[in-house]
Amino acid sequence: MTVHHLLEKESIANKFVAQLRDISVQKDRLRFRRNVERLGEILGYELSKNLSYGQENITTPLGEITMDLPKEEIVICSILRAGLPLHTGLLNYFDDAENSFISAYRHHPYDDEEFEILVEYLASPSLEGKILILADPMLATGSSFVNVLSALETMGNPKEIHLVSIIGAKEGIKYVSKEFPENSHLWIATIDEKLDERGYIVPGLGDAGDLCFGPKQQH
Ligand SMILES: O=P(O)(O)OC[C@H]1O[C@H](OP(=O)(O)OP(=O)(O)O)[C@H](O)[C@@H]1O
Ligand SMILES: O=c1cc[nH]c(=O)[nH]1
Ligand SMILES: [Mg+2]
> pLDDT, tens digit, for every residue of 163-187?
999 999 999 999 999 999 999 999 9
State which ligand 1 atom lies nearest to the alpha carbon of 142: 1
Q: Please give the pLDDT value at position 30.
A: 98
For ligand 1, which residues put their CB under 6 angstroms from it? 79, 81-82, 104-106, 117, 136, 138-144, 172, 199, 207-210
Distance CA 143, CA 216 (A): 20
Q: Distance between CA 187 and CA 34 in Å, rounded?
A: 19
- Dist CA 102 CA 77 (whole Å): 7
pLDDT-derived band of residue 47, with 50, 70 and 90 as boundaries? Answer: very high
- Let me know: does 112 contact 198? Beta carbons within 8 Å: yes
pLDDT of 115 reads 77
Instruction: Write out residues with Cβ below 6 Å of ligand 2.
Output: 82, 138, 140, 200-201, 204, 207-209
Residues 6+ apart with CB under 8 A from 208: 36, 82, 137, 138, 166
Task: Report which DSSP code applies to 209.
Answer: H
pLDDT of 140 above 80 = yes
Is this model's pTM higher than 0.80 or not? yes
Please give the class, per CATH, of domain 2-211: alpha beta
> Which ligand is located closest to the Cα atom of residue 145?
1
Residues paired with 105 in a beta bridge: 118
Residue 10: band (very low, low, confident or very high) from pLDDT cuts 50, 70, 90: very high
Angle ∠(7,12,14) on CA atoms, nearest 5: 40
* Residues surrounding ion ligand 3 at CB below 5 Å: 207, 209
Distance in angstroms (rounded) separating the CA atoms of residues 133 and 100: 10
Domain ranges of the chain: 2-211
pLDDT over 80 (residue 113): no
